[in-house]
Amino acid sequence: MNRSQLLYAGKAKSVYRSEVPEELIVSFRDDITAFDGGKKDIIVGKGAFNARISAFFFSYLEEHGIPTHFIRMTDERTMVVRELTMIPLEVIVRNRAAGSIVRRYPFQEGQVFSPPVIVMDYKDDTRHDPMINEDLICALGLLTREEIQTIRKLALTINRHLTDLFSNKGLDLIDFKIEFGRSGDKILLADEISMDSMRLWDRETGASLDKDVYRFDKGDVLSAYAQVVKMMVPEGYGV
């Protein structure tokens, strides 16, 4: 696989142009960051775990009618995806209160949101990804009101699928962040769905099995990620 031209090196993934027009190569690196880039490390093996679980979720969601950018894996940390024009929003679905929402608003940690709460942040590191609302999204020309509704519906459907998958394994999906992109007039799920972009709690012990292990030095990050992949991804799946 020729990945000559590096298009973009983000905080955790590198994106390359491929030989095929309209396809990109995404390499999940072992870099891990938190607190707006204030904490940084390399956890050898992390990239492969995130790539594997992302690929599994994308395939699963695709089978269940959600359009995604995922095409295939080429090695354990690398996937081929459809090139999209990314919509600079972080769409966050919260089933229970944790993290920034508890710091910013008077919610109790762990408080259940029924229905789930969707929050959107404007993706701009220089502005520290400020929270955004429907009027601002339209005023910035990012999405039409109809597209916002489409994305909200997709986000809730994705939440339902992921929550069920985790719940069957005794894990509670507390919240997660997704990104979408456009191809013509179609909106597709893009980027990643991994332990870096969600909060997962063991239902029995309440233990975190996600990036909070790294953020708050709660234990061995790699074993937490390995455990989730082992529980969630069927043995024969992937490359």
Ligand X SMILES: Nc1ncnc2c1ncn2[C@@H]1O[C@H](COP(=O)(O)OP(=O)(O)OP(=O)(O)O)[C@@H](O)[C@H]1O
Q: Are 173 and 200 in contact (CB under 8 A)?
A: yes
Q: Which of the ranges 78-86, 161-169, 206-214, 223-231 carries the binding residues for ligand X, by CB under 6 A?
A: 78-86
What is the distance of C-alpha 154 from the center of its chain?
Answer: 14
Q: Are 79 and 72 in contact (CB under 8 A)?
A: yes
> Which has the closest alpha carbon to 12: 175, 152, 125, 115?
125
Cβ of residue 202: shortest distance to ligand X, in angstroms? 25
Cα gap 144→161, rounded to integer Å: 26
Joined together, the tokens standing for residue 6 give 């590096």
3 touches ligand X by CB under 6 A? no
53 touches ligand X by CB under 6 A? no
211 touches ligand X by CB under 6 A? no
> Which has the closest alpha carbon to 23: 183, 142, 187?
183
Position among 16, 24, 77, 92 found at the interface with ligand X (CB under 6 A)? 24
12 touches ligand X by CB under 6 A? yes
Cβ of residue 183: shortest distance to ligand X, in angstroms? 9
Q: Are 66 and 158 in contact (CB under 8 A)?
A: yes
Applying the rule CB under 6 A, the residues between 128 and 187 that interact with ligand X are 179, 181
| DSSP code for 18 | -
Binding flags for ligand X, 83-112, as an x/- string (CB under 6 A): xx-x--------------------------
Cβ of residue 186: shortest distance to ligand X, in angstroms? 12
Applying CB under 6 A, the residues found at the interface with ligand X are 8, 10-13, 15, 24, 69, 81-84, 86, 179, 181, 190-191
